[in-house]
Amino acid sequence: MRRFAFVVLFFSLFCGLAYGDDTEADSLVRSSVGIFMNALQSGDGILASSLFSQQALDQVDVMLVSVKQNIDRDPEATVRRLTGAGYAVELEEAEDWEINDYLSATLSLPMITARYAPYELEINLVEIDGRDALVDMIFRTATGVEIPQQAELVYEQDNWKITSFMGITAFP
């Protein structure tokens, strides 16, 4: 019985340290979402990409594989399409892209900044279930139009990371 009590106490302490108490975890999730939104609005692709969860990165990897296949088939046309979309990339660089290079470049594109810049973000509710968080939020335009959205985050690598956020993995 003592061993069971010790295991329960240890697990409780571990979870408390990993995620913080409810108030702290709520605050950390809100902070991650706010930092992510600010990075998107300012074109800071490096910061925004650092907040992607592994699940979100896996989705991006599928797109990167497609880009590299297009480069293999028709390198010049693919680079023209990439530069036409706003990427500042040469063929050799695109051929060597790793997932974080591609993602950072993508999240730095003017079209991504333009997509998120018009909105003010309001976080209404954070629901945390273990290592997962669901965030109810409103994107509000300057004219007052409100678009309800949800973000999904996961706690990994000692941070709350974005898994889903207003179609963030649907880009060129």
SS3 label, residue 41: helix
pLDDT of residue 22: 83
Which has the closest alpha carbon to 171: 116, 113, 114, 112? 112
CA dist., res. 116 & res. 147, Å (int) = 12
- Name the residue ranges covered by the structural domains of the chain: 10-165
As a CATH number, domain 10-165 is 3.10.450
Cβ 47 vs Cβ 39: under 8 Å: yes
pLDDT of residue 114: 93
Q: Per-10-residue mean pLDDT for the chain, 172 residues long?
A: 35 43 91 97 97 96 95 96 94 95 95 94 97 97 96 96 88 60
Q: Which residue has the tokens 């990897």?
A: 61
Query: What is the pTM for the complete model shown?
Result: 0.83
pLDDT digits (tens, 9 = 90+) for 131-142: 999 999 999 999
